[in-house]
Amino acid sequence: MSIFTHTSKSISLQGYRSFREHSKRVVVRDGFEEFLREQGLLDPAELWNRLPAPDMVGRGDMRLIAGEMPVVVRRYRHGGIFRRLTRDLFLTASRPFREVFATEAARAAGIPTVHILAAVIDRSWGPFFRGYLVTQYLNDTSDLIDYLAGERQSKARRAVIREAARIVKALHHRGIYHADLQLKNFLVGPGTPHSLYLIDFDKSTVASFLPPHRRLKNLTRFDRSCEKLKREGLVISDKEKSLFCAEYVSGEPIMRPRLTAYRARYTRHLLWYRWGWWMARLFYPGHRSWKNSKV
């Protein structure tokens, strides 16, 4: 059992070892330390300098490291209005470790997700840190955006949408608020029925109980991402959105009236979304839609 600092508390994780090494603080999954050292993945700052341009782009920069067991390395970056100023420098050293904690809490709740192999914090200069996360790469998967863009068979689409709703409901039952709940963070695997994974628990929070207003806020975040993609041309029907809601509130009498009230005020919410998207385009004119960027 490994113990590391999580904000002001100390938390424990089964199956991980934590240690300090030179300027780094590392949490590594049991059984993977030797492999990660051989690949240079426990020194991601040095590795980053000699890797090619990112294979994938997300909230952080990402690199896909091919090999017998392909892995993804993510360097944390700031989001928001000041992201071009702060970039990848952080004053606190807990963000990657919080993501490990939230991901493992989701796994314990039965949520299919990626295996995190290591989290690394490396002191940069002065009081600043850079953070890295190393995860297994899920082969033969596509995100839910690409799946919905390519899958026209309504029965298969409905099955995936229902499963996404069940995953979110199980997540909320465990008290987890996913900070970036959107279509690109669901990965669809091969097979019939399709396997579905929820990834990227960066900035997510874990509590003993997630109250209804927090659950609704998380669902609203998810809905906003769907509406934005619809405006960019992704086909998501109102019936499919209703199907997601119906599956989520099944057996959830406390959430049904809240979602009903939200949908009754939907036009007002949509106007608010559009104002936010206009502001985003104003500050970040280089935004690329899902049609011309791989996430």
Contact call for residues 117 and 134 (beta carbons, < 8 A): yes
**Model pLDDT, residue 93:** 74
114 closest CA partner among 192, 35, 195 = 195
Residue 190's φ and ψ, nearest 5 degrees, are -75, 175
What order of strands is seen across the sheet that includes strand 129-136? 16-21, 24-29, 116-123, 129-136, 71-75, 61-65, 56-57
**Model pLDDT, residue 6:** 44
Q: Sign of torsion, CA 24 48 106 68?
A: negative
Residues 65-88 have pLDDT tens digits of 888 899 999 988 876 655 566 677
**Model pLDDT, residue 273:** 65
**Model pLDDT, residue 192:** 76
**Model pLDDT, residue 22:** 86
Query: How many C-beta atoms lie closer than 10 Å to residue 69's C-beta?
Result: 12
Place of tokens 């709703």: 165
Give the C-alpha distances (Å, rounded to integers) separating 214 from 48, 94, 126: 37, 23, 37
**Model pLDDT, residue 7:** 42
**Model pLDDT, residue 292:** 52
Residues 147-156 have pLDDT tens digits of 999 988 899 9
- Domains of the chain by start residue, with CATH: 2-136 (no CATH), 142-283 (1.10.510.10)
**Model pLDDT, residue 268:** 66
What is the C-alpha separation between 276 and 150, in angstroms, rounded? 28
* Model confidence, pTM: 0.85
**Model pLDDT, residue 97:** 93
Place of tokens 């690199």: 63
Residues 217-252 have pLDDT tens digits of 999 889 988 888 988 899 999 899 999 999 999 999
**Model pLDDT, residue 283:** 57
Mean pLDDT per 10-residue section of the chain, whose length is 295 residues: 44 83 91 92 80 54 84 82 64 86 95 96 80 92 94 92 97 96 94 90 95 95 88 90 94 91 73 61 56 48
**Model pLDDT, residue 2:** 44
